[in-house]
Amino acid sequence: MVTTCALIAAFNEEAHVASVIAGAAAYASPVVVVDDGSTDDTATRARAAGAVVLRHEQNRGKGCAIRTGLEYVLRQDCSHVLLLDADLQHDPAEIPRLIARAAQGRGDFVIGEREFRKDTMPAARFHANVIGSAILSRFIGADVADSQSGFRLIRADLLRRLQLTGTGYEIETEMLIKLARAGAVVERVYVRRLQYAGARSKMRPFWDTFRTCMLAVRYRYLSP
């Protein structure tokens, strides 16, 4: 049986965080939000929506937020940890698809993969995701088309064994490489494509992708 805790890293997401929490709460308990030094009402709205809120007084990066959240979540009684972003680019209504794949025993690490199309997303983000995922698939040893997706469901017992060091967006690659290296089965579930109209990503496509690929070498060959 799959029992799920949810972890959401958030930075200045007052507009969407409550909706993400409400959607996740239908499938996971507790829902934990790490407010990574937001200067808006993210923490207040997250608490009002029913989440457990952990807060960094200063912005430390997504990787630090994920690691802070995992310290709390992995003490809970759950079989899997659900990770999703706070900006509503992942549709919480699709969470059951990831849970169903895990419940079938198909995958220790289930990734919600987004569809990448040049005509529906900024060119820089498209190329960074496609090129970065192609490179990282070689290190992972599995064909993964969306290595940077933050929408994922992972067995808690496997996460407890990891030594994570990432401070920024590379945390997603670090988890993927280290779990695959440890023998975790990676499964992919296609989820609805993102709506990019008016959306501004906090990720710097080329710099963050380059940095992640360089760090992937360390995660694959040098890290414990």
Across residues 62-74, what is the average pLDDT? 97
Domain extent for 146:
4-221
Q: Residue 207 has which token pair?
A: 């710099």
Q: Residue 168 has which token pair?
A: 């920024």
> Which position has the higher pLDDT, 141 or 118?
141
pTM of the model: 0.81
Task: Say yes or no to pLDDT of 198 above 50.
Answer: no
Task: Say yes or no to pLDDT of 192 above 90.
Answer: no
Looking at residue 197, its pLDDT comes to: 46
What is the CB-side half-sphere exposure of residue 45 using CA atoms within 13 A?
A: 19
List the CATH number of the domain containing 64.
3.90.550.10
Question: In total, how many domains does the chain have?
Answer: 1
Report the distance separating Cα 224 and Cα 219, nearest Å: 8
Please give the span between the terminal C-alpha atoms of the chain, in angstroms, as a whole number: 30
Question: Is 17:42 a contact under the CB 8 Å cutoff?
Answer: yes
**Nearest to residue 98, comparing CAs of 149, 158, 40, 139?**
149
Looking at residue 217, its pLDDT comes to: 59
> Which position has the higher pLDDT, 177 or 46?
46
- Chain mean pLDDT for the chain: 83
**Nearest to residue 35, comparing CAs of 81, 5, 69, 84?**
69
Across residues 24-45, what is the average pLDDT? 98
